[in-house]
Amino acid sequence: MASCCIREVRSSFYFSYHNQQVDSCESTLKGYTILILAPVFDDSSNNHIFAHVLRRIAHFVDREHQEIVSLLQTLPVDIFRSTVHRLQTFVAINLFPSRSDNSTSAFVNGWWIPCAIRTLALFNHANEMINGRIIPLAEMAIDSLNYIDGERDYFEWKHRKSRGIIGGFTFCQYPFVFSINAKRTILKRDSEQQMIINARRSMIQKFQNKQTPNLNMLFLNLYIRRSHLVLDSLAEVTKKRDDLKKKLRVTFVGEHGLDMGGLTKEWFLLLLRQIFLPDYGMFVFYDLSGVYWFNGASTDNIREYNLVGILMGLAVYNAIILDIRFPLVCYKKLLTPAFIAEPMTHLSKTKVGIIKPTLADFRTIRPDIAHSLQYLLDYDGNVEEDFGLTFEVSVAHYDTAMIYLLKENGSKIDVTNENRNEYVELLIDFYINKHISKQFEAFYYGFHSVCSSNALLLLVPEELEMLICGMEQCNLSSLAKITKYENCSPNENFIKWFWQVVEEMPSDKQRRLLLFVTGSDRMPIGGLSEMTFKIAKISSNKCNINDLLPMSHTCFNQLLLPPYPTREILKEKLFLAIENCEGFGIE
């Protein structure tokens, strides 16, 4: 019966398609929306009919697409999710058709998949317009795209974009279809290509100057004295700004050792720990939100803000996870704009990092003030008489309070029931944009001096945060499979007890363990398979083994574990160590 119905309506699709000059009525739009929700299209034998439905929807005009998006926003979550999955399955089946069925292979590079992706884009638009999203962002991605040549698709899209070519289809035109893993791979390949280009450029320059090339010119070599960490880092980065897009290699002056990744990670951890110290005054930590924010009163550290931006850029560029606690709104600002084609030296007058913040954004930084602002907005009484506010704000500037006007003559304008929305908007804009504009501008240019790439256009703020800070989810159940051992074996009792204790740990304790050993409580985007983890046995002739605590070398992801005689002692000492490690746990 379903097949008969589908055959009957198929002719109407053709009629509608060849008469596109006539706007579709509301009932037609609802009809097509209902059709793509139909479970009958879960059967791949109906794919040829489904393709024509998707083709018609994809060719609607913008106004009609907006009406469909409005309809999709009203769907129950389970129907919305199942329809997204149906479209993703349609793409996957036709992207990789089975050998036994070649009937659809001719359409793979034609209109079937592009029309499905364009229809899926309507669901993504509906999902993004809802505050809090209907389904998580990750569920919009098509996992099967992890197996296509994403690099080729990216460079084709980049080529078309740079030359203003209109038309054609690439998956990168619809970045939501890529998983964070696929985007990370694209960004990595783009970074590697830029590294190769810069290394080749250095080699050619050496030959032109009749100089002997050496391996050092292929790297960004930083020589740092531990006693002058920030000063030397600033000097080296400033002096070698043209080399920022080369592979990073760090040398601590006066110390032997080749940087195989450990010294680079240690440099990141030590430098960030020093810069984020409260005494340094660059960032303010808010206990209620658990995040750092830019100190608007710190006007003497502009070069250091630029350095922090460069550090974050180098971390992305060199695939290093950082333990940085910025709110999501910071990454929104960092992607505004996501990419600027002009050279950084020509952008002194370009406004960057300016967003239209919401109360929800501000709540991630100052939930206490946000709560008060929400109370002001909801207040039923007389705002002017009961609150006595004007369009100005008082901000602590070290030992004094500075008064800033939120608008012209703000000190003479009372906040009333009628203008309180404007007051809240201006106050939030002051904290998130205006008060820190110089600091964030330096930070922005530092980051983009390293990471300037079209690949950033594929990312949303949550994904940029994951690339820099890793994944919040922490499950160490498979950690034993990738662990390497030194001076011990997995068959020894204290090693067996250790893994038993780890398995029993709640998620928060596992995060503390990860922080203790690696310097960050987040996992790489690719999960545990992307990590290195080592356990080494330690002992001492000077004291009883039961008096020793576990230690770690975070720059090498190495846990130093004493061979405790019982499981209970091991658990007690391990918990004591991970709960009392400070900062980044550098040893």
> DSSP string spanning 399-467?
TEEEEEESSTTGGG-B--TTTHHHHHHHHHHHHHTGGGHHHHHHHHHHHHHHH--GGGGG--HHHHHHH
Ranked by mean pLDDT, the top range of 4-8, 214-218, 258-262, 459-463 is 459-463
109 has a pLDDT exceeding 50: no
What is the C-alpha end-to-end distance of the chain, expressed in Å? 71
What is the arithmetic mean of pLDDT over 361-376?
97
Of residues 500 and 264, more confidence is placed in 500
- pLDDT at residue number 179: 93
The residue among 140, 123, 106 whose CA lies nearest residue 57 is 123
Among 197-201, 307-311, 330-334, name the one with the lowest average pLDDT: 197-201
What is the arithmetic mean of pLDDT over 122-142?
91
Q: What is the DSSP string of 377-406?
A: HH--S-HHHHH--BSEEEEEETTEEEEEES
Neighbours of 319 (CB within 10 A): 16
- pLDDT at residue number 287: 94
Q: How far is CA 557 from CA 42, 168, 204, 398, 554, in A?
A: 46, 46, 38, 39, 5
The residue among 340, 368, 364 whose CA lies nearest residue 352 is 340
- pLDDT at residue number 346: 47
- pLDDT at residue number 555: 74
Of the pLDDT bands very low, low, confident and very high (cuts 50, 70, 90), residue 7 is: low
**CA separation for the pair 97, 104 (Å, rounded):** 7
- Structural fold of domain 191-355+439-469: Hect, E3 ligase catalytic domain fold (3.90.1750)
Contacts of 446 (CB under 8 A, 6+ apart): 305, 306, 307, 308, 309, 310, 311, 312, 313
- pLDDT at residue number 172: 95
Of residues 340 and 150, more confidence is placed in 150
- pLDDT at residue number 4: 53
The residue among 194, 157, 189 whose CA lies nearest residue 175 is 157
Q: How far is CA 74 from CA 68, 77, 120, 216, in A?
A: 10, 9, 16, 59
Q: What 8-state DSSP symbol labels residue 257?
A: -
Secondary structure E strands in 274-326 = 283-286, 291-294
Of residues 261 and 329, more confidence is placed in 329
- According to DSSP, the residues that pair with 220 across neighbouring strands are 248
Active-site residue among 172, 451, 469, 555? 555
Of the pLDDT bands very low, low, confident and very high (cuts 50, 70, 90), residue 394 is: very high
Per the CB < 8 A criterion, the answer to whether 455 and 154 are in contact is yes
Q: Domain 479-579 class?
A: alpha beta
Residue type, 120: L
- pLDDT at residue number 78: 96
Q: In this structure, is the dihedral angle defined by the CA atoms of residues 192, 196, 199 and 205, taken in order, positive or negative?
A: negative
pTM above 0.75, yes or no: yes
- pLDDT at residue number 441: 95
497 has a pLDDT exceeding 80: yes
Q: Are strands 483-486 and 533-537 parallel, antiparallel or unpaired?
A: parallel
- 3-class secondary structure, 528: helix
Among 57-66, 67-76, 79-88, 99-108, name the one with the lowest average pLDDT: 99-108
- pLDDT at residue number 8: 46
What is the arithmetic mean of pLDDT over 553-565?
89
The residue among 519, 529, 535 whose CA lies nearest residue 261 is 519
- pLDDT at residue number 326: 96
What is the arithmetic mean of pLDDT over 394-418?
91
- pLDDT at residue number 23: 54
* Domain boundaries along the sequence of the chain: 2-140, 191-355+439-469, 359-432, 479-579
What is the separation of C-alpha 2 from the centre of its chain, rounded to a whole number of angstroms?
Answer: 44
226 has a pLDDT exceeding 80: yes
- pLDDT at residue number 174: 96
- According to DSSP, the residues that pair with 390 across neighbouring strands are 414
- pLDDT at residue number 405: 96
Neighbours of 382 (CB within 10 A): 10
Of the pLDDT bands very low, low, confident and very high (cuts 50, 70, 90), residue 337 is: very high
347 has a pLDDT exceeding 60: no
The residue among 554, 475, 467, 549 whose CA lies nearest residue 508 is 475
Mean of pLDDT over the chain: 86
Of residues 22 and 230, more confidence is placed in 230
User: Which burial class, exposed, middle or buried, applies to 189 when counting CB atoms under 10 A from its CB (0-12, 13-18, 19+)?
Assistant: middle
- pLDDT at residue number 343: 61
- pLDDT at residue number 586: 37
Among 15-29, 189-203, 215-229, 451-465, name the one with the lowest average pLDDT: 15-29
Q: Please tell me the chain's helix, strand, coil percentages from 3-state DSSP, rounded to the nearest 5.
A: 60, 10, 35
Residue 475, both tokens? 């499950």
**CA separation for the pair 118, 544 (Å, rounded):** 68
Of the pLDDT bands very low, low, confident and very high (cuts 50, 70, 90), residue 214 is: confident
What are the tens digits of pLDDT across the range 246-305? 888 999 998 876 666 778 888 888 888 889 988 888 999 999 999 999 999 888 889 999
Per the CB < 8 A criterion, the answer to whether 178 and 151 are in contact is no
Matching residue, tokens 């009406």: 67
What is the arithmetic mean of pLDDT over 206-212?
78
**CA separation for the pair 269, 321 (Å, rounded):** 10
Ranked by mean pLDDT, the top range of 12-26, 66-80, 331-345 is 66-80
What is the arithmetic mean of pLDDT over 429-442?
96
Neighbours of 225 (CB within 10 A): 13
Of the pLDDT bands very low, low, confident and very high (cuts 50, 70, 90), residue 459 is: very high
Is 115 annotated in the active site?
no
Ranked by mean pLDDT, the top range of 67-76, 124-133, 194-203, 548-557 is 67-76
Of the pLDDT bands very low, low, confident and very high (cuts 50, 70, 90), residue 529 is: confident
What are the tens digits of pLDDT across the range 24-44? 567 788 888 898 999 999 998
Residue 381, both tokens? 């009484």
Contacts of 263 (CB under 8 A, 6+ apart): 250, 251, 252, 257, 555
Choosing among 3.30.2160.10, 3.40.50.720, 3.50.30.60, 3.40.630.30, the CATH entry for 359-432 is 3.30.2160.10
Of the pLDDT bands very low, low, confident and very high (cuts 50, 70, 90), residue 160 is: confident
**CA separation for the pair 263, 317 (Å, rounded):** 16
Mark 434-471 as b/e (b = at least 16 C-beta within 10 Å): ebbeebbbbbbbbbbbbbbbbbbebbbbebbbbbbbbb
- pLDDT at residue number 3: 55
Of residues 509 and 27, more confidence is placed in 509
Matching residue, tokens 């499950």: 475
**CA separation for the pair 99, 197 (Å, rounded):** 40
384 has a pLDDT exceeding 80: yes
